[in-house]
Structure 1
Amino acid sequence: MKKLLTLFLMAAGVTAALAQTPVKGIIKDVSTGLTLSLVNITTDDGKYGTISNSEGNFRLYYGRQTKKIKLSYLGYFDYEIPLNDLPKDGVYFLEPKSFDLEEVVITNTPINELLEQLIKESKARLTSPLVLNTYYREFVNFNNEYVQFADGIVDYRLRKKGNKNNIKTDVFIKQSRALHLKDYKEGMMYLRPEDVRKSAANRCEFDLITTELLKGNTYKKYSFSIKTQQDSEGQTLNTISFTPKEDDGDDYVEGTIVYNPETNLILSMEARRFLSDKEAHSYNMLIARIQMVDFYYKSIFTTQDNEYRLYYASLHVAARIWKKNGYDNTYVFKNDLVVTKTGKDESVFENGIKMDKRSIYEMGQNYSEKYWETGNVLPLTDKEQQIINSLEY
């Protein structure tokens, strides 16, 4: 009872510390009028943040000391605006930077050594110790029908250990909700391609590079190119593109790694399943076989007030699983992690529930307020809201 009361008071305290009326709006490219997703929206002190959804919409609750908000996005000029001068129509325009023509980078450094150097220097610069307050959500689709949704407020205490700056995290969940399709039989639905407890640590270990490109010298199976661009302010960005050398049906990926060549800090990693003309390989998984149908991965990092950290991570996996007894189904999993606040006050871990499951869904119902309405989350699109409306607690 005491623990429940403490959790309730904590939630009430958080709500009281934030402005009751959030900043809402939609973000667009000033040149094209197209909406922009995954724009980083933060307060001027960098303490509170969120991102825009796939339709460009966002909602930001902020501290009472906040004077301005800042919008930032790779390839665009930062936009800082006072709270007393927000656009009345709620439309925020970002101006794309004017880049010089792309130039191919010629380097004598072997690609594996370059990637290892980027990881080493990026990990060294990651702010630590650091508490990441995040909003985490999960969608599960079964044979073209959404059957589960879960989200929650998850705190990661991030620390670096040893000479190699290995990333370690403690994970506590503050609030959560879990919905499912009525009368749906769980089956294998507790399977998850990503463990929420390891999500932040894996991204800060730059797992896309270490597991997909460097592990077992896999990089030798890929072709790499490096291009550089410089904007009108003199900032340079390098983009490493990679694609498989051969199309043999294996589970290869293709994607990009963007980094700042002056600091060697990795700014984003993106990969998707390579579209092969051949049937994808399948693998034994205990009593069944599994085949990767689709894969999409994205991580974005930011540097603000001399703090280098993760601010967004996403994973989308579709897999076909079948058995000899006729069981043959396709599962689609989509996870999003949004960093909504950062700090070095580790006392937040004195209260909360230690995360001991792979997924938010398994943690069930545990909330004292409708945090999805009163806090900084990834806003639902109309389609996503319809999905949730079709599910029940």
Structure 2
Amino acid sequence: MKKIFTSLVLLLTIFAFSQEIKIRIVVKDFETDLPIDEVTVTALKTHQGFLTNADGEVLVNLTKASTLEFTHSSYNSMVVKSETLNKKINVVYLDAKTQQLEEVILTKDHPQDILKALVETSRDKITIPANLKMYLREFYKRNDKFVFFNDGLVNFQILGSNSKISTDILVEQNRTIGLLDEDIDDGVLGYNLNNIIENYYSFKYLDEILTRAARKEYDFQVKTYPQNEEYLILRALPLDESKGMLSDFYVLYDSKKKIIMEVSAFLSAKRIKILEEEENSKMHKLEYKNVFRTEGNMYYLANSKEVIGFYKKYKKEKRKIEVKNHMVTTNFDKKIFQYDKHNIFTDKSLINKKSTVFTEYWEFDSGLKPTADEKKIIESLVALKDSID
């Protein structure tokens, strides 16, 4: 059965690859002409998703002509028909409403109570069951040097109900490149593929600021969001006198639908410095970002990013470790396809999974085009591994 599943994936991948409409796009700021990172690009007819890289580049591969929507939390949305993007490299400009200022909104309810209600409504409205076909990739650093990389095309079959979510994971293709010591393994990562979607869909990462005690540790505010009149932004920032590993939280939400559209959190440089002085902290970086989308009655995760940086002793040496993970939903469907239980991936990470490559999916089917610098990093890791092997 496993061979049948693998053969089917290969045939479907090759067929889809042969039918694709390929469009190269660079997304830039209208005023500065600078590239814009992390712009979500969605093909509205096919429910395909893409994300611009650090150079503002995106390779859009469509199964058929479609209207493309460009969205970013700091810019006005843009809608473009794919047929009009017929140049070798197409430039799309987004406009930022930088002339408008944020205003604090005074609310009768405490902002934390508003956040609790948002989380509850968002959990109820998130689309389940569903299949998220995702591209995920992970870069690993040791002592500020890249040592390992892996990526893959993965199907998350989201099952259960909004109150009790479960996922089955099916890996279509994947590759692992580089060399790891025992100081980096699937037990020290800041995420686990087998519960990451459950955590995102239940907004578990917000638990830190939903407790009663959090009101004494954080300053909560609701502000207007100049880039979109229908959105508001809720901020929870640690008070200067608060102790511990507390992140800055930003929650962007639709004020009419009462659902969360974006969640981000990070340890500020100021907080990291405090931790190092007070606790000799093991962390030197911690951040994540989730972007959600709505299309009609569908509400789902569009992309995510997590970065975890920590110090760990290895053979009496203190090492600085950093792991960066990106996930992009390349296709969304409310239907669950049939599969054999033996094909379900149960490990925490693709880190130790043997490479299975049928096509150059990272170039043509990933939704997240590697930058020139990232290609050089990957090529150097390949050369390093080949020299040792």
| Runs of at least 5 residues in structure 2 that lack an aligned partner in the other structure | none
Distance in 1 (CA, whole Å) between partners of 2:213 and 2:284 is 24
Q: Distance in 2 between matches of 1:319 and 1:237?
A: 35
The amino acid that maps onto 1:197 is N
Structure 1 residue 226 corresponds to structure 2 residue 225: no
Q: CA deviation at 1:149?
A: 0.5
Residues 1-393 of structure 1 correspond to what in structure 2 (within 5 A)? 3-18=2-17, 19-64=19-64, 66-86=65-85, 88=87, 89-97=89-97, 100-161=100-161, 165-181=163-179, 185-190=181-186, 191-210=188-207, 212-215=208-211, 217-229=213-225, 235-247=229-241, 250-274=244-268, 275-276=270-271, 277-280=273-276, 291-322=282-313, 326-347=316-337, 349-350=339-340, 353-392=343-382
After superposition, what is the alpha-carbon deviation per residue over 1:250-284, rounded to whole angstroms, capped at 9, x for unaligned? 2111131111111111111111113234343899x
Amino acid at match of 1:157: Q
Bigger CA drift: 51-60 or 342-351?
342-351
* Structure 1: 5+ residue stretches without partners: 284-288
Query: How far does the alpha carbon of each residue in 1:206-234 deviate from its partner, in whole angstroms, 9 at most, with x for none?
Result: 12211x21257334311112111356xx8
Is the 8 Å Cα contact of residues 316 and 332 (structure 1) preserved in structure 2?
Answer: yes
Query: Deviation of residue 369 (structure 1)?
Result: 2.3
TM-score (norm 2): 0.88
Q: In 2 relative to 1, CA 230–138 (structure 1 residues): closer, same or farther, beyond 3 Å?
A: closer
SS of corresponding position for 2:62? coil
The separation in 2 between residues aligned to 1:378 and 1:112, in whole angstroms, is 35
Distance 1:306 1:347 in 2: 20
Larger displacement relative to structure 2 (242-251 or 356-365): 242-251
Distance 2:243 2:276 in 1: 5
Distance 1:201 1:309 in 2: 12
- Structure 1, residues 291-334: CA drift from partner, whole Å, max 9, x if none? 111111111111123311110111101101237x7231111011
RMSD: 2.6
In 1, distance between residues paired with 2:380 and 2:213?
Answer: 46
Query: Sequence identity of aligned pairs in percent?
Result: 22
Do the aligned partners of 2:139 and 2:325 also contact (CA within 8 Å) in 1? yes
| Aligned residue identity for 2:122 | S
1:61 positional shift: 1.1
Higher mean C-alpha displacement, 145-154 vs 199-208: 199-208
CA–CA distance in 1 between the matches of 2:131 and 2:99? 35
- The CA deviation string for residues 184-217 of structure 1, in whole angstroms up to 9 with x for no partner, is 534443321111222222111112211x212573
Amino acid at match of 2:154: V
Secondary structure (helix, strand or coil) at the match of 1:109 reads: coil
Return the offset for 1:37.
1.4
Higher helix share: 2
- Report if aligned partners of 2:2, 2:343 keep a CA contact under 8 Å in 1: no
Structure 1 CA distance for aligned equivalents of residues 366 and 22 of structure 2: 9
Cα separation, partners in 2 of 1:281 and 1:118, compared to 1, 3 Å = farther
Partner of 1:286: none
SS at match of 2:274: coil
Superposition deviation, residue 353 in structure 1: 3.1
Answer yes or no: is the 8 Å Cα contact 2:23–2:86 preserved in 1.
Answer: no
